[in-house]
Amino acid sequence: MPMRTPIPWSEVLLNTASTSKSSEVPPVEAPTSEQQSLPPRYMHDTYSEIILPFASSPELFERYTNALGGLRTGMLMEHLDSLAGSISYKHMLGPGVETLGRIQERGFYIVTASVDRLDVLGPLMPVRDIRLSGIVIYTGKSSMEVAVKMEAIGASGVEDTLLLGRFSMVCRDARTHKARLVNPLVRCSPEEAALYSMGENAKARRQTLALRSLSRVPPSSAEAADLHAMYLQYGQDADPLSRHERVWMGDTQLEKTMLMFPQERNVHQKVFGGYLMRLAYELGFSNASLLTRSHVTFMSLDSISFAKPVPIGSILRLTSQILHTTPGAVHVGVEANVMDVRTGHEETTNDFRFTWCPDDGAAVPRRVVPKTYQEAMLWLEGKRALEMGDQIRGKRNSE
């Protein structure tokens, strides 16, 4: 079920013009009894997978290869976002429906609200066939948690898990754009019950983290002590060695400004979220490489927030900044802003957070140091994200 629209852009423009000329606003219909009592869906019916035969198809591999002969991780992320959207529509429409059709006819649409995490658990090299799979593991009133997995399939059929992650999807009414109820989820086995509990816990954890956000509450005493210790070691100019190892956070910014074309639109006639993920990943990768002065290896996508859709034809500014460094990792933030050419006003649409590490276990040669209070809060947010990633990878390695 493709997340890229099959409708020609000329037809979209024509429909938009016809809608704008109409002065009458159609009345909002009350929810029907069918909407109020949606049929439940079985969890196993939402499972979907895609096979990318890189090892057996040189032509396909050529489209995804990077400069070092590996796979472009950003393009695989783009597929994972599309897969999560397809699975969400499959849950809403039922397992027997194979085409999405027109959004207005369906009466609803689904958008990515956030990406909880995408954690790398194994190397992409050597290049093998890749399976991308996913399943709805939890539903709220108008939201769904979709778990995704990336696996490598060896020549002998042995499968290695390369990446695990979760997408949070929300359903909206196509006419009012308000929250719309989603079908409840039925669990039929202890394994499915465990997955449901995992999704429920993930949603509760996001709510807890939101309450602990440094935009709402001050840092803890331990975090304040860590920040002061970093200042004493790297924030002063008395020690020439610290000046050599230090990079001010504000000096790490990289920008990319682009015009958004209709070829990258989704079924809602906005810029496809997976495409934005790829752009942000590649800019963040470049920034991490410049800081470390080496090639870097992707460790995790720590979070993505989708605040607003990016319109087709808009000018998008992507700004990347190094937020935190440790001897073994670089945490990068990428902010996406839509620019109004008439007023110069910018509006944030997305916030991406990634983590990379230098290749071959080399140490990060420099430390990023904040200058302002706002940068200090970003530094602490990066520290929290790196600590969370270490916990997840440590737990996985102990299993």
Alpha-carbon distance of 136 to 139, in angstroms, equals 8
Mean pLDDT of 202-224: 89
Residue ending a domain, choose from 212, 230, 247 = 212
Q: What is the pLDDT, as a whole number, of residue 60? A: 94
Query: 138 and 264, same structural domain?
Result: no
Query: 263 and 182, same structural domain?
Result: no
Of 171-175, 205-209, 213-217, where does mean pLDDT reach its minimum? 205-209
Query: 276 and 204, same structural domain?
Result: no
Residue ending a domain, choose from 212, 229, 262 = 212
Q: Does residue 390 register a pLDDT over 80?
A: yes
Task: Determine contact, residues 339/361, Cβ cutoff 8 Å.
Answer: no
Q: What is the pLDDT, as a whole number, of residue 206? A: 85
- Tell which wins on pLDDT, 158 or 215: 215
Query: 246 and 190, same structural domain?
Result: no
Query: Phi and psi for 321 in degrees, rounded to 5?
Result: -150, 140
Mean pLDDT of 214-237: 89
Query: 235 and 203, same structural domain?
Result: no
Of 253, 258, 262, nearest to 317 by C-alpha is 258
Q: Is residue 373 part of a domain?
A: yes
Residue ending a domain, choose from 194, 212, 230 = 212
Q: Mean pLDDT for the chain?
A: 86
Query: 196 and 152, same structural domain?
Result: yes
Among all chains, which residue has been given the structure tokens 């990258």? 264
Query: 124 and 247, same structural domain?
Result: no
Q: pLDDT digit string (tens) for 23-44?
A: 343 333 344 444 457 889 999 9
Residue 304: domain span: 221-398
Query: 244 and 205, same structural domain?
Result: no
Is 44 exposed, middle or buried (CB count within 10 Å of its CB: 0-12, 13-18, 19+)? middle
- pTM of the prediction? 0.86
Total of domains in the chain: 2
Query: Phi and psi for 166 in degrees, rounded to 5?
Result: -140, 135
Q: pLDDT digit string (tens) for 229-285?
A: 988 888 777 665 555 688 999 999 999 999 999 888 887 788 988 999 999 999 999
Alpha-carbon distance of 91 to 183, in angstroms, equals 7
Could you give the count of Cα atoms lying within 13 Å of 180 in the half-sphere of its Cβ?
Answer: 23
Query: 228 and 201, same structural domain?
Result: no
Task: Determine contact, residues 80/274, Cβ cutoff 8 Å.
Answer: yes
Q: What is the pLDDT, as a whole number, of residue 19? A: 43
Of 16-20, 25-29, 197-201, 348-352, where does mean pLDDT reach its minimum? 25-29
Q: What is the DSSP string of 125-188?
A: PSP-EEEEEEEEEEE-SSEEEEEEEEEEE-TTS-EEEEEEEEEEEEEEETTT-SB-----EE--
Query: 135 and 51, same structural domain?
Result: yes
Return the CATH number at 378: 3.10.129.10
pLDDT band at residue 98 using 50, 70 and 90 as cut-offs: confident
Query: 232 and 179, same structural domain?
Result: no
Give the Cβ contact number of residue 349 at 10 Å: 22
Query: 124 and 256, same structural domain?
Result: no
